[in-house]
């Protein structure tokens, strides 16, 4: 009996690809190897006879779904947060197809990167390295006279958002001896904060008292431009804003003015309103008090390992008639299991 067919365009770890291949006839077309995702027309052809499709950056829209009559399971190696429309979950749900995803695949990667960004901004890494590479170090003690940096120990850290990434970030900041506080309107249980040595607080208090304000929120229609001119004006003039979450959480022009006018001391940014960003199109990159990186927070090798394991776990849960841990449309499971029981899994 021939194996059911799986298409994988996501980057996938070797061990998990091998595990998948033990049960499926796998067509592996890693989007990273050619440097871009597959188009709608390419996916229509590639997925036409597949039972399982696993994507990462490729759009999986209704036209592609309709062109895959055998399709039974979809996996997406991303977290698919509130502002993500790359997968037509509605069309898949109407077909009764479970949609597996990988929330938290980059949890630790982003948390660690948040610490790096914070330290880089506090230690003035951008200005100091430019000074060094521009051959401005002329006398031995020039560096000591030129740069006055800061330490994390005893600093007040304000986390806006206390989900999984926020919690991990809190643990890391605590390791430096910082005082961590957080505001999250969706987590009202003070014990959740206290269990991680974090003070639960309101937004105004956090903004007024924090030395570092770090964003860890999902995007919704209600929080676009959440950090606006009014909120920036509440921050200390010595404070630093860190954004490793989503650019649209911050009012871009208000942040530019606040940095240029000295309303806050600096910002560390890994995400931009328009990507790719460069010095010709992004005014923030012209400011000396901005430490910026090109969306590097989730680029670790471990992220690929994580989403590969998470998607595979979901697939094999479904095969064994168990509810997957990470599924976007659990409402399809009852009928999915009934139909598989009648006609076999594939």
Active site residue 275: yes
Contact 74, 98 (CB under 8 A): yes
* Burial (CB count within 10 angstroms: exposed 0-12, middle 13-18, buried 19+), residue 238: exposed
Catalytic pick from 23, 295, 305, 340? 295
- C-alpha to C-alpha distance for 117 and 172, rounded to whole angstroms: 13
Is the Cα dihedral 282, 283, 288, 289 positive or negative?
Answer: negative
* Burial (CB count within 10 angstroms: exposed 0-12, middle 13-18, buried 19+), residue 204: exposed
- C-alpha to C-alpha distance for 110 and 113, rounded to whole angstroms: 5
Active site residue 325: no
Catalytic pick from 105, 246, 282, 307? 246
Catalytic pick from 45, 94, 151, 275? 275
Radius of gyration of the chain (CA): 23
Active site residue 33: no
Please choose, from the candidates 56, 83, 325, the residue with its C-alpha nearest in 3D space to the C-alpha of residue 217. 83
Q: Which residues are catalytic?
A: 246, 275, 295
């Amino acid at each position: 009996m021939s194996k059911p067919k799986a298409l994988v365009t996501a980057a996938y770890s070797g061990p998990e690809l091998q595990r998948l291949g033990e049960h499926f006839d796998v067509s592996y077309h890693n989007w990273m190897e050619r440097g871009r995702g597959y188009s709608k027309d390419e996916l229509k052809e590639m997925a036409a006879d597949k039972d399982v499709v696993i994507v990462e950056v490729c759009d999986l829209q209704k036209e592609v779904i309709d062109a895959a009559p055998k399709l039974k399971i979809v996996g997406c190696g991303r977290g698919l947060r509130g502002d993500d429309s790359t997968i037509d979950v509605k069309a898949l749900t109407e077909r009764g197809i479970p949609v597996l995803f990988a929330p938290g695949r980059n949890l630790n990667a982003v948390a660690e990167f948040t610490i790096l960004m914070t330290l880089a901004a506090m230690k003035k890494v951008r200005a100091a390295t430019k000074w060094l590479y521009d051959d401005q170090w002329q006398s031995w003690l020039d560096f000591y006279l030129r740069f006055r940096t800061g330490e994390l120990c005893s600093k007040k850290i304000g986390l806006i958002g206390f989900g999984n990434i926020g919690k991990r970030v809190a643990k890391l900041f605590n390791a430096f001896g910082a005082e961590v506080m957080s505001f999250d309107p969706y987590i009202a249980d003070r014990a959740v904060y206290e269990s991680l040595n974090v003070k639960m607080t309101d937004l105004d208090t956090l903004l007024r008292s924090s030395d570092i304000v770090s964003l860890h929120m999902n995007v919704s229609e209600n929080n676009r431009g959440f950090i606006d001119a009014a909120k920036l004006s509440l921050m200390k003039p010595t404070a630093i804003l860190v954004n490793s979450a989503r650019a649209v959480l911050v009012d871009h022009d208000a942040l530019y003015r606040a940095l240029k006018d000295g309303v806050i001391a600096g910002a560390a940014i890994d995400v931009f309103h328009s990507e790719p960003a460069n010095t010709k199109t992004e005014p923030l990159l012209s400011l000396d008090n901005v430490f910026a990186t090109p969306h590097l927070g989730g680029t670790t090798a471990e992220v690929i390992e994580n989403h590969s394991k998470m998607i595979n776990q979901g697939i094999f849960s479904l095969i064994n008639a168990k509810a997957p841990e990470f599924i976007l449309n659990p409402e399809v499971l009852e009928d999915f299991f009934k139909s598989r029981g009648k006609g076999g899994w594939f």
